[in-house]
Chains A and B, each alone.
Chain A
Amino acid sequence: MRALFVVAILSISLPAAAKEIRVFAAVSLTEPLQEIERGYERAYGVDIVFHFGASSLLSRQIEQGAPADLFLSADEASVGRLGKLVIRRASVLSNSLVIVVPKDNRTITRPVHLLRARRIALAEPSTVPAGIYARKWLQKIGLWQRIAPNVIPTDNVRAALAAVESGNVDGAIVYKTDARIAKRSRVACEVPRAETPGISYPFALLRDARNGEAATKLLAYLSTKGARDVFAKHGFLIQ
Chain B
Amino acid sequence: MTLVVRDLALPLSDFTLEVSVTLSRGTTALYGPSGAGKTTLLELIAGIRRPQSGSIELDGRVISDLPPRLRRVGYVPQDDALFPHLSVRQNVFYGGAAKSGDIVDVLEIGPLLHRGVQQLSGGERKRVALARALVTRPDVLLLDEPLAGVDLALRDRVLEYLVRVHEEFPVPTVYVTHHLQEVEAICEEMVVLERGRVVEQRKV
Do chains A and B directly touch (beta carbons under 8 Å) in the complex?
no
